[in-house]
């Protein structure tokens, strides 16, 4: 790490979190952090000269801009109150449940909203202060929906992109938000507003029509400007992906392949290993998955002698009440199922409430015969794509919820509606019994899609459209 302040940047990424975590070790104070957004953007940032604006992840931590591992980082400080009201409150307990179709009840609190406005302003100011004349700024995700307009107000010379990583709900749900007008205004400050699915972009355009009556045509929204004219904001789908080559390379490493074999052996080498990997979040459908698996054991259609479910539930948002409750429910369910079905030598569910290094994740992907992605709502779901990218052996089967964004692209997966427990049970059984040839054919098609449309193509498509919008408005 060097202490050089970051100069003016031609390309600026703004996200809630910086791609690093603070450690307690003064000699080595920063560590790269995992997570969907970081996994997606890191390869992009390495190929451009730019700066990254974000929160360093600890309350009251004031740090000057610094360089880390080739990235220019610009920290935005949040107080304990900010974390509680803006992050845990408005972002994770209002917007998150509302945008995931109210799977959990959103809280609407004016103090949370006030903090959201205040913190969004701080992020906009940080980005405005380091962006060079005419720079491109790419804002990310639901914590920062007001930043595009706040930034445009301060710096009309900038080209502003926004990408929304989570779903955008239908208007009947979105309309609940007491600040529905202000949030749309914030987003419309961007030149290009990217979504995961075509349906999300459509929901957004419809919300804009309902709230403002602006004209929208094939995703081009005509937004009035203060001088009485208008500008165009584009709302369009750009399904995010992964750096597939990283997973391919890891999966080819002999030590990781050996680890995959070791995992199988340590589970007693069952005929079938089912795997779930999720942040412990109510959107991921972990309870539905456990229910289906538990019933299959109860019904005698599956036996612990033949099948084990490995469930990695990485710790997430542990101070938000809904997440504490969910953890209790999941752990109670796992305990019951294991209590009823375990033998001295075999376990029905190997439940792991940990975060693992990427190498271990790939070993798990390689060891698993069936990957269960049963999200009730998910913007994309990168785990599904990581599993596919890791299966260099052409084996393994993906069971994928139709409510995950990935379902639009990964059409050769076995599709499920996780709310339909009987359907989910039948899908699990059919996958276990799927003929080898059929399994391989599906995986081959999935692998082609994931390797061709990787994260580099995703960002290229978005940034090309953003550059074109600059040309169009000049
Ligand atoms: C949001 C949207 C969208 C998880 N546990 C560990 C670990 N992970 C990694 C996975 C994957 C990432 O975290 C999770 O990404 P997902 O896409 O599955 O889900 P969200 O975190 O909810 O992400 C989502 C995404 O943003 C990107 O736009 O797809 O819909 O909700 O990369 O591998 N990684 C490691 N250890 C763990 O224990 N190393």
Q: Output the residue whose Cα is nearest ligand 1's atom 21.
A: 36
**Residues 308 and 390 occupy one common structural domain:** yes
Provide the mean pLDDT of the chain.
94
Q: What is the mean pLDDT of residues 441-454?
A: 96
What number does the ligand 1 atom closest to the CA of 35 have?
A: 13
Residue 434: is its pLDDT beyond 90? yes
pLDDT at 147: 98
Q: Residues with Cβ < 8 Å from 209, sequence gap 6 or more? A: 216
Determine the residue of 31, 36, 277, 353 to mutate for testing ligand 1's pocket, defined as the one with the most ligand atoms within 8 A of the Cβ atom: 36
10 Å CB burial of residue 452 (0-12, 13-18, 19+) is exposed
**Residues 140 and 32 occupy one common structural domain:** yes
10 Å CB burial of residue 331 (0-12, 13-18, 19+) is middle
Distance 316 CA to ligand 1 centre (A): 11
Residue 472: is its pLDDT beyond 90? no
Q: What range does the domain containing 223 cover?
A: 2-240+457-473
**Residues 125 and 212 occupy one common structural domain:** yes
Q: What is the mean pLDDT of residues 48-55?
A: 87
Q: What is the mean pLDDT of residues 34-39?
A: 57
Q: What is the mean pLDDT of residues 36-45?
A: 63
**pTM for the full predicted model:** 0.95
pLDDT at 428: 98
At residue 207 the predicted structure's pLDDT band, cuts being 50, 70 and 90, is very high
224-270 tens-digit pLDDT: 998 999 999 999 999 999 989 999 999 999 999 999 999 999 999 99
Determine the residue of 280, 360, 382, 384 to mutate for testing ligand 1's pocket, defined as the one with the most ligand atoms within 8 A of the Cβ atom: 382
**Residues 200 and 56 occupy one common structural domain:** yes
pLDDT at 3: 43
Whose CA is closest to 240, among 159, 95, 140? 140
Distance 34 CA to ligand 1 centre (A): 8
pLDDT at 50: 85
At residue 424, what are phi and psi to the nearest 5 degrees?
-65, -45
pLDDT at 474: 45
161-187 tens-digit pLDDT: 999 999 999 999 999 999 999 999 999
Number of structural domains (the chain) is: 2
What number does the ligand 1 atom closest to the CA of 383 have?
A: 18
Q: What is the mean pLDDT of residues 91-101?
A: 98
**Residues 376 and 392 occupy one common structural domain:** yes
As for ligand 1, residues whose beta carbon falls within 6 Å of it are 34-37, 39-40, 165-166, 240, 277, 279, 312, 314, 355-358, 361, 378-383, 386
**Torsion on CA atoms 20, 24, 28, 34, rounded to nearest 10:** -30
Distance 286 CA to ligand 1 centre (A): 14
10 Å CB burial of residue 371 (0-12, 13-18, 19+) is buried
Enumerate helices (H) and strands (E) in the chain, giving the number of each. 17, 18
**Residues 438 and 464 occupy one common structural domain:** no
What number does the ligand 1 atom closest to the CA of 379 have?
A: 30
Determine the residue of 16, 34, 100, 142 to mutate for testing ligand 1's pocket, defined as the one with the most ligand atoms within 8 A of the Cβ atom: 34
**Domain CATH number, residue 371:** 3.40.50.2000
> Which has the higher per-residue pLDDT, 4 or 350?
350
**pLDDT over 90 for what percent of the chain?**
85
pLDDT at 1: 42
Instruction: Report the alpha-carbon distance of residue 279 to residue 312 in Å, rounded.
Output: 8
Beta bridge mates, 163? 140, 194
Whose CA is closest to 382, among 455, 462, 445? 455
pLDDT at 384: 98
Contact (Cβ atoms closer than 8 angstroms) between residue 191 and residue 159: yes
Q: Output the residue whose Cα is nearest ligand 1's atom 14.
A: 36
281-336 tens-digit pLDDT: 999 999 999 999 999 999 999 999 999 999 999 999 998 899 999 999 999 999 99
**Residues 207 and 288 occupy one common structural domain:** no
């Amino acid at each position: 790490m060097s202490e050089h302040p970051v100069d003016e940047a031609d390309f600026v990424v703004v996200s809630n979190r910086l791609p690093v975590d603070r450690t307690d070790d003064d000699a080595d104070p920063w560590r790269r952090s995992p997570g969907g957004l970081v996994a997606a953007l890191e390869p992009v940032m390495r190929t451009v000269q730019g700066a990254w604006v974000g929160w360093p992840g600890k309350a009251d931590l004031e740090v000057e801009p610094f360089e880390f591992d080739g990235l220019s980082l610009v920290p935005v400080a949040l107080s304990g109150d900010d974390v509680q009201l803006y992050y845990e409150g408005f972002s994770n307990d209002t917007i998150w449940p509302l945008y995931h179709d109210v799977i959990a009840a959103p809280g609407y609190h004016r103090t949370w909203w006030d903090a959201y406005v205040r913190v969004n302003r701080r992020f906009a100011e940080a980005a405005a202060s380091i962006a060079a004349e005419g720079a491109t700024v790419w804002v990310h995700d639901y914590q920062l929906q007001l930043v595009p307009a706040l930034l445009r107000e301060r710096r009309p010379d900038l080209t502003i992109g926004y990408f929304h990583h989570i779903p955008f709900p239908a208007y009947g749900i979105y309309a609940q938000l007491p600040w529905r007008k202000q949030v749309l205004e914030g987003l419309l400050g961007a030149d290009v507003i990217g979504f995961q699915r075509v349906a999300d972009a459509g929901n957004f355009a419809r919300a804009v029509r309902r709230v403002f009556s602006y004209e929208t045509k094939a995703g081009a929204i005509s937004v009035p400007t203060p001088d009485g004219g208008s500008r165009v904001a584009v709302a369009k789908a750009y399904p995010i992906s992964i750096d597939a080559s990283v997973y391919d390379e890891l999966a080819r490493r002999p030590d990781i392949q050996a680890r995959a074999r070791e995992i199988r052996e340590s589970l007693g080498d069952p005929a079938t290993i089912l795997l779930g990997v999720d942040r412990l979040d109510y959107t991921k459908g972990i309870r539905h998955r456990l229910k289906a698996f538990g019933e299959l054991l109860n019904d005698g259609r599956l036996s612990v002698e033949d099948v084990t479910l490995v469930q990695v539930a990485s710790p997430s948002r542990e101070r938000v009440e809904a997440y504490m409750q969910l953890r209790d429910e999941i752990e109670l369910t796992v305990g019951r199922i294991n209590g009823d079905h375990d033998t001295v030598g075999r376990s029905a569910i190997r439940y792991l409430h940990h975060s693992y290094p990427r190498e271990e994740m790939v070993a798990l992907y390689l060891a698993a015969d069936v990957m269960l992605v049963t999200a009730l709502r998910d913007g994309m779901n990168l785990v599904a794509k990581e599993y596919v990218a890791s299966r260099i052996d052409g084996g393994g089967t993906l069971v994928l919820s139709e409510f995950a964004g990935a379902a639009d692209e990964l059409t050769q997966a076995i599709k499920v509606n996780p709310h339909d427990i009987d359907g989910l049970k039948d899908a699990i059984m059919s996958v276990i019994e799927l003929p080898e040839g059929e399994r391989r054919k599906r995986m081959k098609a999935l692998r082609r899609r994931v390797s061709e449309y990787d994260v580099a193509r995703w960002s290229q498509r978005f940034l090309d459209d953003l550059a074109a919008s600059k040309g169009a408005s000049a």
